[in-house]
Amino acid sequence: MTSLPEAKRAERHPLAGTTMTGADMIVQVLADEGVNTVFGYSGGAILPTYDAIFRYNAAHTKDEEMRLVVPATEQGAGFMAAGYARASGKVGVFVVTSGPGATNCVTPIRDCHADSVPVVLICGQVPRAAMGTDAFQEAPVFNIMSACAKHVFLVTDETKIEATMRSAFELARSGRPGPVVVDVPRDVQLSQGLFQGVGQLQLRGYDERQRALNHAALPDGTAKDFFRLLGDSERPLIYAGGGVINGEAASELRAFAQRFNVPVVTTLLGIGAMDTTSELSLHMLGMHGTAYANYAVEDCDFLFAVGSRFDDRVAGKVKEFAPGAKIAHLDVDASEIGKVKGVDWAYVVDAKRGLAQLTRAGKGFRKDFSRWVKHVHDLKSQHPLNFNRESPLVQSEEVLAVLNEITKGDAIVSTGVGQHQMWAAQYLDFRSPRTFLTSGSMGTMGFGLPAAIGAQLANPGKLVIDVDGDGSIRMNLGELETLTTYDIPVKVLLLNNYGDGMVRQWQDLFYANRYSGSDKTLHKKDFVRAAEADGFGFVRRVTTRDELRGALEEFVKYDGPAFLEVITDQNAHVYPMIGPGMGYKDMITGKYITPRTEKDVAVDKNAGF
Amino acid sequence: MRHIISVLVENEFGVLARIAGLFSGRGFNIESLCVAPTTDPTVSRITLVTSGDDRVLEQINKHLNKLVNVIKVSDFSTVDHVERELVLVKVTADAKTRGEVLSVVNIFRGKVVDVSSESYVVEVTGTEDKIGAFIKLLRPFGIREVVRTGVVAMFRGSPVLAAAADEAPAPDPEGQEGRLAREGSEADFV
């Protein structure tokens, strides 16, 4: 079903017409797609492709080389590819063997799907004749991955390997991006065929929907409706999500917000879409969002959701989410419109195109929102983030606040999952998109370290920091060695509170302090010695507040892989917090953040807020 | 509410499993299912009947539309359509009851497609209701086996569900989206 070569003679691929193996075709398409780094772990069923990579590199100069990065486990390869993709916007590639190699990739594939990250996974499979016989290292990859990936190909026809590979890249990056799995039986990798140099599989439905999406024109009526809603509002708010970053629409979002003077809250995955240090940014909303962002959501009368999806960490109690607001929703995925919350206006388009079209359509629009902007600035100054500044114990928030003073929002930061992840989202600034890499939807512990490796390889000159927790880092601790093996200068900042802090927080709040399975005080792990054993040149442990700044400065400055462990307060909680299934008005601000009083609310109401 | 959903797909392995997965993943049962190639052998048409919460089904329809191998989707439940199902029934028909069985078959415009000394195999097409009534009437004679094809459906009038863009478009896929946008109910998550 390969479409006929449409390219003109002049654009003919130099290798078109060459006889090569399926494995060579896989590697050639990777090269044509501009892949310079492949993450993966070898094994029997994928050996022909690994050999093809070796031969490709032997035949090319160092500059053209396809770098192969071997992790400790396939899950690590998956999150490295994800980190690479999230930080660069390019498709991340990982290549693994059949059976356990492939099943170890289920978690990163599902994680990428849930966060819309474009990756291509190539799995070896047992030879066609052995499939379905419970062969050695056989797993039903097509079936398993079908439930987790954007799309799965099982290449049973060797003449389609080349077109399938090209289609895999196209599918991964187009529309709402996502993971694509290509399962290739060993004998298909070994089969000989003529390389075409062009052509993709025919995917009529998908291609047609893609074409429609790429040519979406904002209907006049839709534009008018939008500006009527905006014009009727006094307190508009933009609620931007990961779709803005995936859609490379950060500059369009910033231009839109500036042009109409509308403040912006972002989701966890939307962090970096706005420069968090900018005037109109209110940082993150939701369960652990800033108090001022959540108050703004409560107060707004028009909420414009862009590339965000009202997920349960944002709108835990849907009926009470932005209760006074008309809602507009712009998203690339039609199935997100109205999924959770009914909307008053919707437009299915990618964020970049949609925001640019709206900004143009609103050329003549005039409305002064400066009173509202002043109001949200007041919220920002009256209810800032805060933490226990009196305790002799090091607070994770302080570590991150000091780190932020050093990096000033210019570092790429990955995280694990839990308290440290939320604090990193709250206390660090992010000036550009693709600088905050975190497992948002799936919440996969162990994401941070391999993701940082991928991000660093995609951005060799940049400062990349993995902010991790002791629970999370344990899950992929083997990748510490990958850092030093390849001399990847990632900075690993471990906030060690001897336990699963977020679980402990919930057990404090909802399970009467019964720390079932979450306390690790008696665990014997010495992370510093582990990092030393893995060959880190900079290794340090901080236990007191006065060492903190000096240690962080040296750590960030160190030229090479660096490991810094900070022992933090085990009993600290992340605030603000909107409990599961609760509305924004039930937000708990904790001991250190100044909440809004009934009186404040009454005063605001009188002032029209 | 009962829904008849037709899906045009690339005629390839694995497509059916992904479609079925969208239903099973939400705990929806597929009551009947019919798959066969269309005039274009590279395109298959899947027709399935399911019932459940309308809003969830609209969500499923949208997700069907996202599957890479899906070409077009149509839900027939709210549009004017014809639907048919075929049933084969092996019914006891001996010398005594043969005439009576035959008259029931004739009333339903069925056909006897196989005869043996003690049974008929009869064929009837119709809506699910008609087939249900037919089976009910044959039951007293002794039904030995029943096999049903599952429902197929088609728009009345000129609209068609077709893969090629140059054929007439299916009615109003956009309308549904608008409706959902307005009505989206507000389930609470915990």
Q: What is the per-residue pLDDT for A178? A: 98
Q: Is the pLDDT of residue A8 over 90?
A: no
Minimum-distance CB partner of B177 among A142, A156, A334: A334
Q: Is the pLDDT of residue A609 over 90?
A: no
Minimum-distance CB partner of A205 among B18, B71, B189: B71
Give the up-direction half-sphere exposure of residue B149: CA atoms within 13 A in the CB hemisphere: 19
Give me the percent of chain A exceeding a pLDDT of 70: 98
Q: What is the per-residue pLDDT for A19? A: 97
CATH architecture of A9-213: 3-Layer(aba) Sandwich (3.40)
Q: What is the per-residue pLDDT for B78? A: 86
Q: Show me where the domains of chain A are located.
A: 9-213, 217-382, 396-567
State the Cα–Cα distance between residues A327 and A342, nearest whole angstrom.
8
Pick from A466, A434, A438: which is nearest to A452 by CA? A466
In terms of CA atoms, which chain A residue is nearest residue B43?
A: A204
Determine contact, residues A75/A109, Cβ cutoff 8 Å: no
Mutate to test the interface with B, among A110, A116, A206 (most CBs of B within 10 A): A206
Four-CA torsion A350, A353, A357, A358, nearest 10 degrees: 40
State the Cα–Cα distance between residues B179 and B59, nearest whole angstrom.
12
State the Cα–Cα distance between residues A141 and A132, nearest whole angstrom.
11
Quote the distance between the C-alpha of residue A176 and its chain's center: 13
Q: Is the pLDDT of residue A34 over 60?
A: yes
Q: Is the pLDDT of residue A2 over 80?
A: no
Average confidence (pLDDT) over A539-562? 98
Average pLDDT of every residue of chain A:
96
Distances (CA, A) of A329 to A332, A343, A349, A350, B148: 10, 7, 10, 12, 44
Pick from A470, A442, A428, A420: which is nearest to A573 by CA? A420
Q: In chain B, what residues touch A208 (CB-CB under 8 Å)? A: 71, 165
pLDDT tens figures, A203-257: 999 999 999 999 999 999 999 999 999 999 999 999 999 999 999 999 999 999 9
Minimum-distance CB partner of B163 among A152, A204, A343: A204
Structure tokens at A375: 């109001």
CATH number 3.30.70.260 given to B2-80+156-183: yes
Determine contact, residues A552/A406, Cβ cutoff 8 Å: yes
Pick from A176, A174, A289: which is nearest to A243 by CA? A176
Distances (CA, A) of A307 to A231, A238, A332, A353: 22, 11, 7, 12
pLDDT tens figures, A334-373: 999 999 999 999 999 999 999 999 999 999 999 999 999 9
Q: Show me where the domains of chain B are located.
A: 2-80+156-183, 82-148
What topology does CATH give the domain A396-567?
Answer: Rossmann fold (3.40.50)
Asked if A1 and B17 come within 8 Å (Cβ–Cβ), the reply is no
Torsion sign, CA atoms A65, A113, A40, A200:
negative
Determine contact, residues A563/A538, Cβ cutoff 8 Å: yes
Amino acid identity of B190?
V
Average confidence (pLDDT) over A502-514? 96
Residue A340 in contact with partner chain B when CB distance is under 8 A:
yes
Q: How many CB atoms lie within 10 A of CB A472?
A: 27
Determine contact, residues A497/A419, Cβ cutoff 8 Å: yes
Asked if B42 and A316 come within 8 Å (Cβ–Cβ), the reply is no
Q: In chain B, what residues touch A319 (CB-CB under 8 Å)? A: 186, 188
Structure tokens at B180: 């959902």
State the Cα–Cα distance between residues A107 and B143, nearest whole angstrom.
51
Range 348-367 of A in CB contact (< 8 A) with B: 348
Give me the percent of chain B exceeding a pLDDT of 70: 86
Out of A29-43, A526-540, A591-605, B146-160, least confident range: A591-605
Q: What is the per-residue pLDDT for A601? A: 83
Residue A384 in contact with partner chain B when CB distance is under 8 A:
no
Q: What is the per-residue pLDDT for A11? A: 81
- DSSP H or E run through B136: helix B128-138
Four-CA torsion A154, A159, A163, A165, nearest 10 degrees: 50
Q: Is the pLDDT of residue A561 over 90?
A: yes
Q: What is the per-residue pLDDT for A10? A: 57
Average confidence (pLDDT) over A124-130? 98
Q: What is the per-residue pLDDT for A9? A: 52
State the Cα–Cα distance between residues B74 and B151, nearest whole angstrom.
14
Asked if A204 and B177 come within 8 Å (Cβ–Cβ), the reply is no
Average confidence (pLDDT) over A425-450? 98
Quote the distance between the C-alpha of residue B52 and its chain's center: 15
Q: Same fold for the domain at A9-213 and the one at A217-382? A: yes
State the Cα–Cα distance between residues B81 and A192, nearest whole angstrom.
50
State the Cα–Cα distance between residues B97 and B14, nearest whole angstrom.
47
With a CB cutoff of 8 Å and minimum separation 6, the contacts of B109 are B124
What homologous superfamily is domain B82-148 in, according to CATH? ACT-like. Chain A, domain 2 (3.30.70.1150)
Q: What is the per-residue pLDDT for A492? A: 98
State the Cα–Cα distance between residues A351 and A239, nearest whole angstrom.
12
Residue B42 in contact with partner chain A when CB distance is under 8 A:
yes
Q: What is the per-residue pLDDT for B28? A: 85
What topology does CATH give the domain A217-382?
Answer: Rossmann fold (3.40.50)
State the Cα–Cα distance between residues B123 and B111, nearest whole angstrom.
5
pLDDT tens figures, A485-506: 999 999 999 999 999 999 999 9
Determine contact, residues A480/A537, Cβ cutoff 8 Å: no
Mutate to test the interface with B, among A201, A204, A326 (most CBs of B within 10 A): A204
Place of tokens 């995280």: A415
Place of tokens 């009527």: A228
Number of cross-chain residue pairs from A and B with Cβ atoms under 8 Å apart: 99
pLDDT < 70 positions in chain B: 165-190
Determine contact, residues A166/B40, Cβ cutoff 8 Å: no
